[in-house]
Structure 1
Amino acid sequence: MTTETIIVPAISIASATKSYGTGTTILKDISLNIAKKEFVSIIGPSGCGKSTLLKLVAGLSPITSGTIAVDGMTPANAREIVSFIFQDATLLPWRTVRQNIVLGLELEGMARDRRTEKVNEVLHLVGLTHVADSYPRQLSGGMKMRVSIARALATRPQVLLLDEPFAALDEMTRDRINEDLLRLRADQGWTSLFVTHSVAEAVFLSTRILVLAPHPGRVAHDIAIDLPFPRNEETRSTPAYEQTVIEISRALRSVSASSVNAGGAAHP
C-alpha cells in the first residue's frame, strides 16, 4: 500500500464572502489556494476589497461566509505563524529601532539572550545595524519601513501579509526595498500575500498576480508570472518583464473599464 503525502496549502480560501451590516458585499465567493513559498500579489481598482481580503486571512476581520485556512488552521489559530506589515510603519516613537523590532519577541515571552540574538540577526539582514539605537523620528521613510519589515521577520513567520507598505516611498527607495524583500524571502522561505496598486511592483515581486474586479470584489484573473529568480535591477529592463507589465496592466484596465461601464461606485 502506498501512502500519499497530503500537501497543505499555505493559504486556502473557499467561497469566502464578506459583507457589512449595511448589506454591502465587499467580497463574494473568493476561492483560491496559495502554495507554500509563493509570492502572490493582489491588484485591482479602488474599492474591490484588496485590503479586506488581507484582513480576513490575518483574522483581523470576521468572514461572513465560506472558509479560510492558514496552514490548515483558522486565521485566529494561525496568528503565531503570520506577520502583517501595514501601509504605515506603525513604530512606537518612544522606542529605538532595536526596541521596536524586539516587541513581538517580548510578547512571545522569549528569553532575553535569545531575543538579543534574533534582533541582531534581523538588523543585519535588513541593513539597519548602524541605526539600531536611533529613534523613528531620526529615520527616513525607507528606513522606517525597513524597521517594520524587520519587526515582522523577527518572529520567523511562515506567512507574511503586506498591505501596500511601500506606497509612500519614492520610486528608487521602493525598488531597492523590493529587491531586499526578495532576498529576504529567498533566505527565510515565507509565503507572501501582497496588496499593491503598482503593476510594475507586483510583476517584479510575484510568482502569481490576482486581479480583483469590484462590486463585489472577486477574482477576475489569476496570472502566473514566468520570470526567473533571482530578480534584480537588471530584471526591470528585460523585454520579458516589460511585456508582462503590459499584459497585467491590460488585465487591470479591463476590470476597471467593466466597473465603470456597470456604473458601480467604489466601496470604502
Structure 2
Amino acid sequence: MIKKNAYAKLNLSLDIIGKRENGYHDIKTLMVMTDLYDEMSFSKSNKVEILPNFNFDIKDNLIYKAYETLKSKVGYDIPFKIEINKKIPIAAGLAGGTSNGAATFYALNELYDLNFSKDELIEMSKSLGADFTYMMTGGTKIASGIGDILEDIRPIYLENILIINPGYGVSTKDVYNKIKIDDERIDFHKILDAIYKLDIDKLNFFLRNKMEDVVFNMHRDLLEIKNKLIEFNSAALMSGSGATIFGIFEDKKSLEEAYFYFSKIYRYTYKVRVGEGFGSF
C-alpha cells in the first residue's frame, strides 16, 4: 500500500492578463501550499476503484485521468484501489482535484515500480491541465503563462490562516467565460513585501484576485464572508475561482476569534498554515 497526502493550495493573488486564440487565459498568480490535505491510500487491484464514490462520472475524475495517462505511457494496465479521506472541499479554488491527480501520478509510479523521474511525471501531467505543473511541484511560486511557467521565489511561511468554504462549488470555466480583462496589473512585488512583513493593512490594499468581481456578482454571500474576515483584522481574499475565501491573521488570538464565529455558520472552516513542507510528494 502507498499512502499520499494531497495538499490544498492558495492563490495569494491572481491576475488575468490576456486571452489566447485557443481560449486559454494568460495569468500571473502567487501560489503557496497549505497543510490542509486529503489522505489517500493506494493498493493494487484487478480493477480501478475510487472510494468513496464522487457524484460525477469516474472518467471525469483527475485521479482516473492520471491513471489513464500513465497506462497509455507504459502500454499495459496498472489497476488500483484508492481510499480517500476527503478534507478539501470540491470545486473550491483550492486545486483539490488536481492535487488528488498529482498524488496519483506519484503513487502509481511507486506502486508499480514504473521508475519515471519526477520531471517525466510532471511533463505527462501537463496534458490534464495547467494547474498540474504547480501541484506536482509545490513550494512558493509565481506562475505565469496559463499557469504552467513557474518562478521560484523566497519561501512564504504563514502560521495563522482561516479558510472558509460555503459548501458549494464554482465553475472555473463559467468564471473565465464572464471575466473582463483590463489593463491594470497587480503589483506582486508589493504583495510579497507586505507578506514577508505580515503587514495586514498593506495586504488588504494590495491583495487582488481578478476573478472576485465575477464570482461576487453571482454569490454575494462570498463578498460578505470576505468583508467579515476583514472586520476580524485579517487580510482576506478569494482563492482561485472560488468559492473559498481565506483570511491571513497577524496573531493566533485574532484567528481563534474569527474561527469561533465562522465555524458555527460554515461546516468547511479550517485553520491552516502555509509552508514549504506541504505539498511535496
Q: TM-score, normalised by structure 2?
A: 0.28
Q: TM-score, normalised by structure 1?
A: 0.29
Q: Comparing both structures, which one devotes a greater share of its residues to strand? A: 2
Q: Comparing both structures, which one devotes a greater share of its residues to helix? A: 1
